[in-house]
């Protein structure tokens, strides 16, 4: 068994133990495991199933129902592009496309080096700054291609 698998088993066991006496603790355990591991790998789900004596299908049913749960790792930097009306009118589709090109990923994906995850939202709530995005907790407004180039310099292709 690898060190990562041992760590997953330990984290899941500690999370299950925290909520063992509660009634219907699955959501709380899923949240706790995700907080510890950053996401819910299938190994963790199988370990929860074993420890809780609950079918894997029931666990998958709950975690696939709620948008808060992730079964793939997220990047260290979360890039969220606004798709709200004001942002859309002021160029959000172009900002999203350019961000995808610069990061080499599509909306909903994470870069292979786990540096960035690209997401969109219906509205960030700062329409006066449209178009805008949030990187982690920092809002960047009145975006254009030049500002994106400063935020995400293109990776060298070596040729």
- What digits encode the pLDDT tens for the residues 89-146? 999 999 999 999 999 999 999 999 999 999 999 999 999 999 999 999 999 999 999 9
pTM score, whole prediction: 0.69
Q: How far is CA 152 from the centre of its chain?
A: 19
Q: Which residue has the tokens 């709200």?
A: 84
Q: Higher-confidence residue: 19 or 16?
A: 16
Backbone angles phi, psi at 54, to 5 degrees: -130, 140
CA distance from start to end of the chain: 42
Q: Report angle CA 127, 69, 2 to the nearest 5 degrees.
A: 130
Residue 140 burial (CB count, 10 A): 18
Tokens of 33: 């495991």
């Amino acid at each position: 068994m690898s060190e990562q698998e041992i760590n997953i088993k330990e984290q899941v066991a500690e999370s299950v133990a925290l909520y063992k006496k509660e009634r219907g603790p699955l959501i709380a355990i899923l949240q706790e495991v995700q907080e510890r591991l950053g996401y819910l790998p299938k190994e963790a789900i199988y370990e929860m199933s074993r420890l809780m004596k609950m079918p894997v299908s029931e666990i998958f049913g709950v975690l696939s129902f709620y948008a808060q749960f992730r079964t793939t790792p997220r990047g260290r930097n979360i890039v969220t592009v606004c798709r709200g009306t004001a942002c859309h009118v002021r160029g959000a589709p172009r900002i999203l496309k350019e961000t995808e090109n610069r990061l080499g990923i599509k909306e909903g994906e994470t870069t292979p080096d786990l540096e960035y995850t690209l997401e969109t939202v219906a509205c960030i709530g700062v329409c006066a700054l449209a178009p805008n995005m949030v990187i982690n907790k920092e809002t960047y407004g009145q975006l254009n291609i030049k500002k994106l180039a400063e935020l995400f310099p293109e990776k060298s292709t070596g040729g």
